[in-house]
Structure 1
C-alpha cells in the first residue's frame, strides 16, 4: 500500500467534494480579504497625506475664495470635498443675505448640514467592503469546522467499511478534515486583526474630518457676523 500524500495539495485532491468546496471557499475568501486590506491601508495613507497638504494650504492665511477657485469642483479627498461643499453653499446664499439674524443663522445651519452630509457620504465610501472582513472573521472558522466535521464523518464511514483502524488508514482522512479548519483560521485571523486596525484608523480619520468641519464652520460663522 502506497503511503498517503499528506502535502497540502495532496490533502486537497484526496478530500471529499464538500470539503474541497469549503477549502476553495476559504482560499478565495482569504485572497479577497488581503485585497481589501491592501487597498484600505494604501488608500488611508494617501488620504492622510492629502489631508496634511490640504490643511497646510487652508491654514496658510490665504483667501478661502481663492483656494476654492483653484480647487474647482473635483475634490481629491474627503477633506477637500467637505470644504468644497461648504464653500459652494456659501457662495449660493451669501450674496442674497439680508441683515436678519435668522437668515444668517439659517445659512450657518445649512452649511453645517452640508458638511455633515458630505462627511457621512465620504466615510460610507471609505468603509465599503469592510463588512466582508468582519463577516469572514466571524464565519470562516465555523465554515472550516463544518468541513472538518464532514471530513471526519467520511473518515469514520470509510473505517467502518474497511474495518481497518490502523493509523495509516485513519490519518489521511483526519488530516484533510483538519486542513479545512486550518484554512478557515488562515482566512479569519488576518481578517479580524485587519478589521480592528482599519476600523480604528477610519475612526481617527473621521474624527479629523469632524474637527475640520467644526473649525471651518466656526470660521464661516464669524464671517456671517461681520
Structure 2
C-alpha cells in the first residue's frame, strides 16, 4: 500500500522530482529569511529616519541641524551634513557667483542620497520577485516530469488501473503545490516591502526638502545681512 502523506510521496518520487521539491523548500526558506531580516532592517531605517527628520524640521539653520544630529549617520543626517559642507565650501564664491550654484549642487547631493539609500534598502527583495515568478514553473517542471514517469509506468505495467496510476500522479502534483507554496508568500512579501520602501523614500524625500529649505533660508539671511551692512 502506498504512503500518500507528503513525506511518503516525497520518498517515492523520482530523483528529479525530489530535487525540484528540495529546491522549492530552499526557496521557501529564503523567502521567510528575507522577510525576517528586511523587516528588521526596515524597522531600524524608519526609526532612524523619523528621529533625524524630526530634528531637521525643528532646526532653523543648517548649522543648528548638524549640531542637533550629532554623530548620526543615517541618510537624512548625511544630507544635512553634506549640504552644510557644500555651503561652507562655496561660501567664498557666493558673492560673485550667486546662490544658484550651491543650491543646484545640494539638490544633486540630496537626490543621489535618496537613490542610493533606496537601492540599499531594496537589496534582497529581488530574490522574492524571482521566487514568486519562477517558483510555479519550477513546480510545474517537477509535475510534468513526474507525470511523464507515471505514464511510462503505465506503459510498462500494461494496465490503466487507477490504483496503479494515482500514486505517481499525486507525487507529481505535490511538486506543483510546493511551487505555489513557495511563490505565493514571496509575491505577497515582495509587494509589502515595495510599498514600505516607497513610503520610506517619501519620508526621506521630505527630509531632503527640509534640508534644501534650510539652505535657501541660510542663503537669504546671508544676503540680507550683507545688504544691511552695505546700507549701514
Q: TM-score, with normalisation over the residues of structure 2?
A: 0.87
Q: Distance in 2 between matches of 1:122 and 1:51?
A: 11
The yes-or-no answer on 1:97 pairing with 2:57 is no
The yes-or-no answer on 1:124 pairing with 2:122 is no
Q: Distance in 1 between matches of 2:71 and 2:107?
A: 19
1:180 to partner: Cα distance: 0.4
Are 2:9 and 2:170, in contact at CA under 8 Å, matched by a contact in 1?
Answer: yes
Aligned residue number for residue 165 of structure 2? 170
Matching of residues 32-181 of structure 1 within 5 Å? 32-61=30-59, 64-69=62-67, 71=69, 75=73, 77-94=74-91, 96-100=92-96, 102-181=97-176
Aligned residue number for residue 201 of structure 2? 206
Q: Distance in 1 between matches of 2:198 and 2:112?
A: 17
Q: Distance in 1 between matches of 2:59 and 2:81?
A: 17
Are 2:27 and 2:182, in contact at CA under 8 Å, matched by a contact in 1?
Answer: yes
1:210 to partner: Cα distance: 1.2
- 1:177-219 C-alpha deviation (Å, 9 max, x unpaired): 0110011001110011111111011111111111221222022
- RMSD (CA atoms): 1.9
Aligned residue number for residue 192 of structure 1? 187
> Which of the pair has more CA radius of gyration?
2
Aligned residue number for residue 214 of structure 2? 219
1:71 to partner: Cα distance: 4.7
Are 2:154 and 2:160, in contact at CA under 8 Å, matched by a contact in 1?
Answer: yes
Q: Across the two proteins, how many residue pairs are aligned to each other? A: 221
Q: Which moved more, 1:29-38 or 1:53-62?
A: 53-62
For structure 2, which runs of at least 5 residues remain unmatched after alignment? 222-232
Are 1:82 and 1:119, in contact at CA under 8 Å, matched by a contact in 2?
Answer: no
Q: Distance in 1 between matches of 2:78 and 2:159?
A: 70
Q: Distance in 2 between matches of 1:210 and 1:43?
A: 19
